[in-house]
Structure 1
Amino acid sequence: MLIPISNTPRDYAWGSISFISELEGREPTGKPEAEIWYGDHPGSPSRVDDGSGRTLDDALADADQPPLPYLMKILAASMSLSIQAHPSRAQAAEGFAREEAAGIPRDATERLYRDENHKPEIIVALSKDFWALVGLRPLDRTRGFVSRLADESGGLRGVEALQAILEADGDDATVLHGALAWALSDEGVAAVPDVVAALRVAEIPDYEDEQRFLGEIAGQFPGDGGVIVALLMNLVRLRRGEALFAPAGVLHAYQDGLGVELMAASDNVLRGGLTPKHVDVPELLRVVDTTPGPAPVIEATPSGDGVVAYDVDVPDFALQRATVTEDAPVELTLIGTATVLVTAGRLSVTTDSDADAVDLVPGRAAVVAAASSIRLVGSGEAFIAQPGRS
C-alpha cells in the first residue's frame, strides 16, 4: 500500500527563512521554517494527502500496520540548535522508569526521559554546505587552540581557568568530562565573557571557522556555558550528499544548512547548553561519551544502480539515496515499512503489490507498507528510510 503524506514546517527560532521554501519551489513565508516531520510521531504526525484529513498514525492503525520505528525529517538551520546527547537504550529504560516512579509528568519541561528508547540519528546534507558541531575534538588540538587564545588575549582569567581545566591530570576522556562539568558550572559560566573576548581578538591559523561560529554562537546565546562546550567540539563542514552520525552519548549541535535527518522514534534529549530549555548537568554527565576523536562522518556506499546507502548498523533505521533519470528507473527491495521522500525533480513511486502510483515533488513523501519492493520512475532524487537489519 502507498500512503502519500506531507506536513507543515515547524517554526522553531533556529530555522531558516529560505531553505525549505527553496526546496519546495515556493515563496518564503517570512518566518523561520526549521523542520518538516515525515512520520507518525505524536509530536507532529504527517497528514495523509487523500482528502480524508487523517494523520499517518491513524492511517497505519486502520491498515493494521505497526508504528514506524524511525522518524524522518527535513531540517533547516540558520543558527545553532541546542547542544545535546541521547541515551543508550539501557540508559533510556532506566531513566524512564526512574522518572515514572518519581511521578514527573511526561510533558513536564524538566522531564528528560519521555520513552524507553534510544535515539541514534544521521543527517545528510542537502545544501551546498552543512555545518555542525559533533563529538569532542582530540584533546591535544583543543589544548593548542586554548593556549593560543591565552597567549593572544593578554592573560584573561577566564581563558586561563579553561586552560588549567584542560591541563588536569587523567586520561583524555576524564579531563574532558571534567571540562564539561566545569563549563556548565557557575565558575564556567563566569568565564564565558573572557573566552568570548579572546575569540574576538585572536588570529589563529586553522581555527578561523571555529572562531567565526563560536562568535556567532556567543551572540545568539550570551553568557551561556554552552559556548565553552561548543569550543571543545569538532566543527564539521559537510558537502551535499555527505553525512554525519550521532550515536548514543555523542554531543552534537547543528549550525547551518539544509539536510535530511533520520532517527529512532524517541523524545529523549539531554541538553548541554545553547538553549533556554532545561539543562540537567548531572544527568548529561552520566550519559555523555567524552571519548575524543574525529567527527563521525559516514561515507555513502553504492548499493545498486543509482543508489547509495548510509550504513550506520542500527536496527531502528536504514537510509538510502536514489538518483533517478528518465532512462534509468530505480528499483529497491524493502525489508519493512518504508518512507520515500523526494528532494529534487519529480518522481513516481509504485510497488510490487499496488497497481496505483504516487507522484512526488520536493518536500512530499509516501509511506510504503506491506510491499517487498518499490520502483521509482522520472527524474530526480529521493531518500528512502526503512527499518534496519536486526
Structure 2
Amino acid sequence: MLIPISNAPRPYSWGHTDFIADLEGRTPTGDPEAEIWYGDHPGDPSRVTGTDERLDAALARAGERPLPFLLKLLAAGSSLSIQAHPTKAEAVAGFAREEAAGVPRDASDRLYRDDNHKPEIIVALSDEFRALVGIRPVAETRRLLAALGGTPALARLDALLADDDAERGVRAALAWALNDATGDDVAELTAALDAAGGADAAAVGADAAFADEITVLRAAASDFPGDAGLFVALLMNLVTLTRGEALFAPAGVLHAYQSGLGVELMAASDNVLRGGLTPKHVDVPELLRIVDATPGRAPVVEPVVSGDHAVTYDPGVEDFVLTRVELTGSPVSADLRGPAIILATRGEIAVAEREPGRDAVVLAPGQAVYVGGGATGVEMSGTGEAFLAQAGLG
C-alpha cells in the first residue's frame, strides 16, 4: 500500500526563508519556514496528497498501526532552543504526573505531552550544518573561558567547573546559569564575546581555536539578548556537519541546532525540556533532573554502506533507522521491516512496492510516500536522492 503524503512548512521564527523553498524548487515566501513533518503525529499529521485527509485518519481507516517515528525536513536560520528529551521511563512518569494534576496538554508550561521518549538523528542536506550538542570536555571549556577574559561571571563559571568530579561541576554550572545568573552576568558574557570576535580579537587574547564557537555564541547573544541560556550554550560542543554527515541526540543530551538544512528522524513524541535561548517555558528543576551532564565529544553517527547506492544511519534505537539512497538511473531495491516513509530530497524518484505489477508513486523534492499494508520491500528508480525511514532493530 502506497499513500503519497505532503505537508506545509511550519513557520517557527528560527526557520530559514530559502532552504526548503530551494529544495522544492519554488519561490520563497519571504517568511521563515522551519520544518515539514512527514508522519501521523497528531501535532501536525501529513495530508494524503491531493486531499484534505490526515494521514492518521487514513491509517486508522486502513487498519494500520500508528508510526513509531516522525520524519522531518528541518531548516534552521538561527538557533533553536537548547533542549533535552526524557527517557521512556521518565516520559511515562512525567506524563502520568501531569495528567493527574490536570495540566492541559496544550498548556505552555506542559512538559510531557505524551508518554514516549524522543531520541533523534539529523543528517545534513546543506553543505554546512551547525549544531550545539552535548557537553564539551571541561578542560576545553575552561580554555575557552580563559580566552574570553576574567570577568566575574566567567570566573564564577570556571570555579564551578574546577570540581574534581567533572559531571558534578557541570551540573553546578548548569544550575548556576539557569537559576542564579543575572542580566548583568549575561551582559558581561555578551561583551566578552563581542571583544573576542571583533577586529581587536588578538589584543584581548582570544584563542583562534574557538573562533567558530565565538561566532555562534555571538549570534545567539544577538538573537536572544539577556537570555541566561547563553551560559549553557557556552558549555556545549559545537559541531559542523557537511552534507551527508549525521548527529544523534539520545535521551538527556542537550542540543540546539544552529543553522542549515537537514533530514531529521525521531521517535514519535513531543516531549521537550528546554534549557534556554527561547522565550518558551524553562522548568529548571525538571531539566536538571533528566539532563545528561557527562562531558565528552558530540555523538556523531557514522553511516554504514548498505548497498551499492545506499548508506544507513543506525543509532541503535528500536524506534527508527534512516537510509539515504543515491539513484543514478538503475533501480534500487530495499527491504522493509514494517511501515516506512520515503522522502525525496533531490531529482525525481519513483517508488513502487517490490511485488511485480504494482503502480509507482513519483516524488519530487519535498514529497514523500507512506509504505504500509504489509509490504516487505520497495523498488526505487529515477535519478536523485531519497531517504527511507522505518522502525529500527533496537
Same fold (TM over 0.5): yes
Aligned to 1:279: 282
Aligned to 2:11: 11
Deviations 1:189-208 (A, max 9, x none): 54111111111112221000
Q: Which moved more, 1:340-349 or 1:100-109?
A: 100-109
Equivalent residues of 1:159, 1:198 under 8 A apart = no
Q: Distance in 1 between matches of 2:146 and 2:349?
A: 53
Q: Pick from 324, 327, 331 the counterpart of residue 333 of structure 2.
A: 331
Q: Which runs of 5+ in 1 are unaligned?
A: none
* C-alpha displacement of 1:144: 1.1
Q: Pick from 260, 277, 282 the counterpart of residue 263 of structure 2.
A: 260
Q: Pick from 297, 301, 311 the counterpart of residue 308 of structure 1.
A: 311
* C-alpha displacement of 1:283: 0.2
Q: Distance in 2 between matches of 1:105 and 1:229?
A: 29
Q: Pick from 237, 241, 262 the counterpart of residue 238 of structure 1.
A: 241
Deviations 1:107-146 (A, max 9, x none): 1111101111100000000000000000000000001110
* C-alpha displacement of 1:188: 5.1
Q: TM-score, normalised by structure 1?
A: 0.96
Instruction: Among all aligned residue pairs of Structure 1 and Structure 2, give the percentage whose two residues are the same amino acid.
Output: 60
Q: Secondary structure at the match of 1:185?
A: helix
Deviations 1:337-371 (A, max 9, x none): 00000000001000034711100010000000020
Q: Distance in 2 between matches of 1:97 and 1:41?
A: 20
1:141-180 alignment, distance < 5 Å:
141-150=140-149, 155-167=150-162, 169-180=163-174
Q: Pick from 347, 350, 362 the counterpart of residue 348 of structure 1.
A: 350
Q: Distance in 2 between matches of 1:344 and 1:244?
A: 21
Q: Secondary structure at the match of 2:147?
A: helix
Q: Secondary structure at the match of 2:381?
A: strand
Q: Distance in 2 between matches of 1:209 and 1:89?
A: 35
Aligned to 2:29: 29
Q: TM-score, normalised by structure 2?
A: 0.95
1:1-390 alignment, distance < 5 Å:
1-49=1-49, 51-150=50-149, 155-167=150-162, 169-187=163-181, 189-202=183-196, 203-326=206-329, 328-353=330-355, 355-369=358-372, 370-390=374-394
Q: Distance in 1 between matches of 2:181 and 2:112?
A: 28
Q: Distance in 1 between matches of 2:51 and 2:235?
A: 50
Q: Distance in 2 between matches of 1:220 and 1:158?
A: 21
Deviations 1:302-323 (A, max 9, x none): 0112010001110111100000
Q: Secondary structure at the match of 1:206?
A: helix
Equivalent residues of 2:77, 2:259 under 8 A apart = yes
Give the letter for the 2:185 counterpart: A
Give the letter for the 1:384 counterpart: L
* C-alpha displacement of 1:165: 2.2
Q: Distance in 2 between matches of 1:256 and 1:352?
A: 38
Q: Distance in 2 between matches of 1:103 and 1:26?
A: 44
Q: Distance in 2 between matches of 1:297 and 1:123?
A: 10
Q: Distance in 1 between matches of 2:51 and 2:146?
A: 62
Q: Distance in 2 between matches of 1:74 and 1:296?
A: 20
Deviations 1:218-268 (A, max 9, x none): 010011111010000000000000000000000000000000000000011
Give the letter for the 1:174 counterpart: R
Q: Distance in 2 between matches of 1:187 and 1:236?
A: 26
Q: Distance in 2 between matches of 1:292 and 1:117?
A: 26
Q: Distance in 2 between matches of 1:139 and 1:389?
A: 34
Q: Secondary structure at the match of 2:52?
A: coil
Give the letter for the 1:198 counterpart: A
Give the letter for the 1:25 counterpart: G
Structure 1 residues 232 and 362 mapped into 2: Cα distance closer, same or farther (>3 Å)? Answer: same
Q: Distance in 2 between matches of 1:97 and 1:363?
A: 37
* C-alpha displacement of 1:53: 2.1
Q: Secondary structure at the match of 2:366?
A: coil
Equivalent residues of 1:96, 1:115 under 8 A apart = yes
Deviations 1:50-86 (A, max 9, x none): x342111111111100011100000000100000000
Q: Distance in 1 between matches of 2:233 and 2:288?
A: 15
* C-alpha displacement of 1:159: 2.1
Q: Distance in 1 between matches of 2:51 and 2:129?
A: 37
Output the aligned Cα RMSD. Answer: 1.1
Q: Distance in 2 between matches of 1:158 and 1:379?
A: 55
Give the letter for the 1:376 counterpart: M
Q: Distance in 1 between matches of 2:226 and 2:274?
A: 16
Equivalent residues of 1:183, 1:189 under 8 A apart = no
Aligned to 2:203: none
* C-alpha displacement of 1:105: 1.1
Q: Which runs of 5+ in 2 are unaligned?
A: 197-205
